[in-house]
Amino acid sequence: MSRNESVDVLRKKIDQIDAKVVDLLNDRASLAQRIGHFKSRSNQEVYAPQREKEVVERVCDLNRGPFPAPAIRAVFREIISGCRSLEGPLHVAFFGAEATYTHLAAREKFGSAATLRPTASISEVFQEVSQGRAAFGVVPIENSTEGVVAHTLDQLVESDLQISAEIFQDIHHYLLSRSGRAENVQRIVSHPQALAQCRDWLVRHFSSVPVEEVASTAHAAIKAAGDGSLAAISSAMAKEVYDLQTVAANIEDQSTNITRFLVIGKVGVPPSGDDKTSLVFSVHDKPGVLYRMLQPFARSRINLTKIESRPIKKKPWEYLFFLDLRGHRQQATVKKAIAGLEKNCSFLKIMGSYPSGR
């Protein structure tokens, strides 16, 4: 058999497998439709983050190669997204415009079948979900190099919404312009966080070029698309969406530049077996009080993954403490530790228990 005939035979086998895959996908979709009818009758949410985490982890464990593990995740993200759309429509609000990193995070979590709706501010994301125009919202919460997004923390304190899931997104910044030529760049625009994450690179390569802060990396791309003298620090997706050229790629100062995003919704999420709980509390200012507040978690051997403080508005020198811990609020040990904490709090709010994103 010749080489070409051999390839033809292999391709026919691939075609046969593809046909089986399509049949199996439709079998899966039919089952999803039946689940959707049940959810509708029992008034359950279409999006179940704990179940989706379980599905993706199980199929990744089943994969023995040679199909790449990251591709398995991407394929099943879209399979789940398509099947979820048959259960019912899903509207998701996200902060920023198309091609922002929050947009990328929302698409990573919900897939292409969800309706993703841009908003102008973080507070607007919370409003869209609170008022029922979106089932869920996606907002940034912290970056591995630049720290927390204070506005998101403030909204979490004031809102009745719950954290439903978290997303970790690798951030790679591109310098984009209409021409793609460095010598044409007279001003660089981007979101303050993006500028901060590329500070050293800008000093090395464009030290004499002024920078300007704008509302988002997508707004920066829009401005650069309309003015040939501007370059925007934005995402690779923005290059395609706004028809720009690359001046330089991967310009972030830290190669491990990761942003954590939160999915917010109206209802709590059942345990997945690998969860986080986020809460916020305040205490009366007494010697050693913070040490005593954390003792219940140490006694229960609960791992605290994050603690952050924020000044309380209109109360100078008083603080809110934000805490992330391993475990779900329904677990006995977590419930006991939180009860021990609450005894000494002047304020305590559980912002949500949700599947760990890592």
- Per the CB < 8 A criterion, the answer to whether 110 and 58 are in contact is no
All residues at 6 or more sequence positions from 30 whose CB lies less than 8 Å from its CB, including other chains: none
Token pair recorded at residue 103: 């947009």
Closest CA to 278 of 316, 229, 329: 329
For 290, left (φ over 0), alpha (ψ -120 to 50), or beta? Answer: alpha
* Enzyme catalytic residues: 259, 261
User: d(Cα 332, Cα 181) in Å, to the nearest integer?
Assistant: 60
User: d(Cα 88, Cα 38) in Å, to the nearest integer?
Assistant: 11
Most distant CA pair in the chain, distance: 85
All residues at 6 or more sequence positions from 139 whose CB lies less than 8 Å from its CB, including other chains: 94, 95, 102, 122, 125, 126, 149, 152, 155, 261, 262, 264
Q: What angle do CA 157, 158, 161 make, to 5 degrees?
A: 85
Closest CA to 231 of 174, 153, 192: 174
Block residue for tokens 């920066």: 220
Can the peptide bond before residue 66 be classed as cis, meaning omega within 30 degrees of 0? yes
User: d(Cα 88, Cα 215) in Å, to the nearest integer?
Assistant: 33
Cα dihedral: 36, 38, 44, 45 (round 10): -10
